[in-house]
Amino acid sequence: MKKLLPTSTAGSLPKPSWLAQPETLWSPWKLQGSELSDGKHDALRVSLHEQQLAGVDIVSDGEQTRQHFVTTFIEHLTGVDFENRKTVKIRDRYDASVPCVVGPLSRTKPVFVDDAKFLRAQTKQPIKWALPGPMTMIDTLYDDHYHSREKLAWEFAKILNQEAKELEAAGVDIIQFDEPAFNVFFDDVNDWGIACLERAIEGLQCETAVHICYGYGIKANTDWKQTLGNEWRQYEEIFPKLQKSNIDIISLECHNSRVPIELLELIRGKKVMVGAIDVARNEIETPEEVAATLREALKYVDADKLYPCTNCGMAPLPRDIANDKLKALSAGTELVRKELLAN
């Protein structure tokens, strides 16, 4: 029987201190060459083991093999110049030094496929793999070639589709596209963002997810959140069209955010990954706190469509805290499972 309320993480988990600087976002690697490739796979093994110990049902690589969720992907493409970087405002919020698109984009080799095969060989559990979404990719680049956000996003969608098809062939069960930019550029999302996302999943048989959030707990993001008022209604702008899209699962930030939970009504019928663990503070959620978030979500999401998960960005947490938070997710989910089975 399929397990009720399968748990997962939104994305990154802490890396071992011999691979990257602890508690640091986007840390440079501490190893090089073949030591680095071996080190990444060893880290992936450790991360998988910790997820299993914590009772996570849908496991991932914990993003152990990437430094940054967008740039590590782009590093594998031709048409991008990493030497001559430009400073641009990303997510309409903060300046970042980003690579330049200087010619036609193409993916000459797979990006994460070998890593996904490696993870697949370690476990029979369902596995989820995260890729950057097309709109978020173009928002993390300077475009000196296509001169059109929409056209560039479409090119990325085609490239992501090539990668996604190979990840599916490698045995990935759920392919997730991370689209924090969906929470910022509503008109573009509705005009072409969701169309690009659907191009990225074209022809896939495995399950597909889109993760939409308010960004990692960096200062630019926490400052922005202060300006959003008491109710964060960004999801309201894009949910109606997402509800009609071909994406199977929508992954959201819920716990300790100010997202009114009733907005889930707008995506009724979709599977929903509900972020029930806060990553912006070190305090461990109690099982009862996790259960309370899930019970609220269950008012709008059918039990067989609810996937409890963490909010994204656990990478900079101390390791023991991240592990305890995963355990809290499992314990809180188990409370709700028992209630559902008793009724």
What residues make contact with Zn ion under the rule CB under 5 A?
A: 213, 312
Tell how far CA 182 is from the center of its chain.
13
Q: Do 4 and 52 meet the contact criterion of CB atoms below 8 Å apart? A: no
Closest contact distance (angstroms) between CB of 104 and Zn ion is 30
Minimum distance of Zn ion from residue 91's CB (angstroms): 11
**Closest to Zn ion by CB, 80 or 160:** 160
Nearer to Zn ion, 43 or 212 (CB): 212
Determine whether 220 is exposed, middle or buried from the number of CB atoms within 10 Å of its CB (0-12, 13-18, 19+). middle
Closer residue to Zn ion in complex, CB, 100/210: 210
Q: Please, what is the minimum distance in Å from the beta carbon of residue 108 to Zn ion?
A: 29
Closer residue to Zn ion, CB minimum distance, 165 or 271: 271
Query: Closest separation between CB of residue 178 and Zn ion, Å?
Result: 6
Minimum CB separation of residue 69 from Zn ion in Å reads 9
Report, in Å, the least distance between residue 70 CB and Zn ion: 12
CB of 213 to Zn ion, least distance (A): 3
* Under 8 Å between Cβ of 47 and 61: yes
Angle at 61 between CA 71 and CA 298, to 5 degrees: 105
* Nearest residue (CB) to Zn ion, 170 versus 312: 312
**CB of 149 closer than 8 Å to CB of 188:** yes
User: ∠ at Cα 140 (136, 143), nearest 5°?
Assistant: 110
CB of 343 to Zn ion, least distance (A): 32
The smaller minimum CB distance to Zn ion, of residues 161 and 311, is found at 311
Q: Distance from CA of residue 136 to its chain's centroid?
A: 11
Nearer to Zn ion, 51 or 183 (CB): 183
Residues 6+ apart with CB under 8 A from 174: 58, 126, 127, 128, 129, 206, 207, 208, 209, 249
Of 184 and 213, nearer to Zn ion (C-beta) is 213
What's the closest the beta carbon of residue 10 comes to Zn ion, in angstroms?
6
Of the pair 80, 197, the CB lying nearest Zn ion is at: 197
- Give CA 164 to chain center in angstroms: 14
Distance set, CA 301 to CA 81, 141, 262, 314, 328 (Å): 44, 36, 10, 25, 21
